[in-house]
Structure 1
C-alpha cells in the first residue's frame, strides 16, 4: 500500500489539513493517509497549547468519517521530541509491505534540509509537496537527492491556520465550519484555547 503521512501538532486540526490530505491522496495515488500527531515538535518555537492526548482525540474525531484516513498514536506513545526518521523507521518495521511519503506544505519544503538525519530519511520515505495557487515555489536550493524524492501536487487556496484558530478562540470568536463539527464540539466541551469558546 502507498501511504501518505500527515505529521504535525494539529493544535487544533482544521479543514485545511483535511483538504491537503485529500488533495495528496487523489493526486499522488495514495491508498491511505495516516495522521500522526506529534508529542513535542522539533522545529516549533512554542509548545502546543493542547495536551498530546487532546490533540490526538481531535484528529481522531476529524478523520473518523473517511475510510481512507487513519490516526496513529506512535509519536504520542513515544513521547518527547518527535523525529520523522524514528517514526518512519518504526512504521517500516510494523508495515514492511507499505511505502511511505511525508505530505508537507509549501512553507516547509525549503526546511527539509534542516530535518533530523534527512539523508537517511530520504532513503526510507518520499515527500509530497503541496503547491498552493498563490505560491511560486523556488526549490533550486534543495539538494538534488531531495528534489528527486519530492512529488508536487496542487491544492486549493485555503487560508486557515491553527494559529489563527487559537487566536479566534482566545478572543471569544467561533471556529465553527473552520473545523469539523465533532472537533468544534470537543473544543467547546473542553474549553480549549480560550475562556469563551462556547458560542
Structure 2
C-alpha cells in the first residue's frame, strides 16, 4: 500500500488486515496463501503471496488449544452435551444478546431434536483450518473450513459442512462464543433464521 493511490487489504484466511500494519500468530503449519485485494479507485485487483510456516514456535491464544486440542494437527471432536431428559443443549433463547444465551425459552432439544443430535463435529489445523460434520457418529463426514475470531469471540464455519444443530438456521455460519474451555463450548445465534429468535448450542469435547 506504499504505491501512491493504491488502497486495499490483506486477507490472511483467518481474518482481514484493514490497516496498513497488523501483527498476528498464524496457527497453521505448511504453505499458506495470503491475498491482497486492492484498487486504484476503479476496478479491484488481487495479488497473492505464499507464506511457509515450518514450526509453531510462538504460543497460540488459549482458545485455539481449547477448540482443537494441544495437538492442533490431530484436532478435537465435539458432540452435543446431552446429559439426559430435560437437559439444555439445543434451545430457543432471547435474541440479540449473548448474555441471555442460557435463558431457555423452549427446550427444543428435548421436544424436537435436530436430525444430527447424535452426530459429531471435528476441528483441526492439519494443513488448513479443517471442519468436519457427521450427521451420526458413524456417517461419512461433510468437509468444510472454519475461522476462530478470538478478538470478537466468534466461530465461523463454511463450505459443505454445517455446525451441529444448524437446523436452527444460520446461512452465514457465524456463531457467537459464549463459553469455550477445554471440555465445554457454548455457541449462540442472535437471530435464528428458522425461528426468528436467539438460539443456543451446548457442546462437550468427546
The structure with higher relative contact order (CA 8 Å, sep 6+) is 1
What is the TM-score of this pair, normalised by structure 1? 0.25
Tell me which protein shows more helix as a share of its residues.
1
What is the TM-score of this pair, normalised by structure 2? 0.25
Tell me which protein shows more strand as a share of its residues.
2
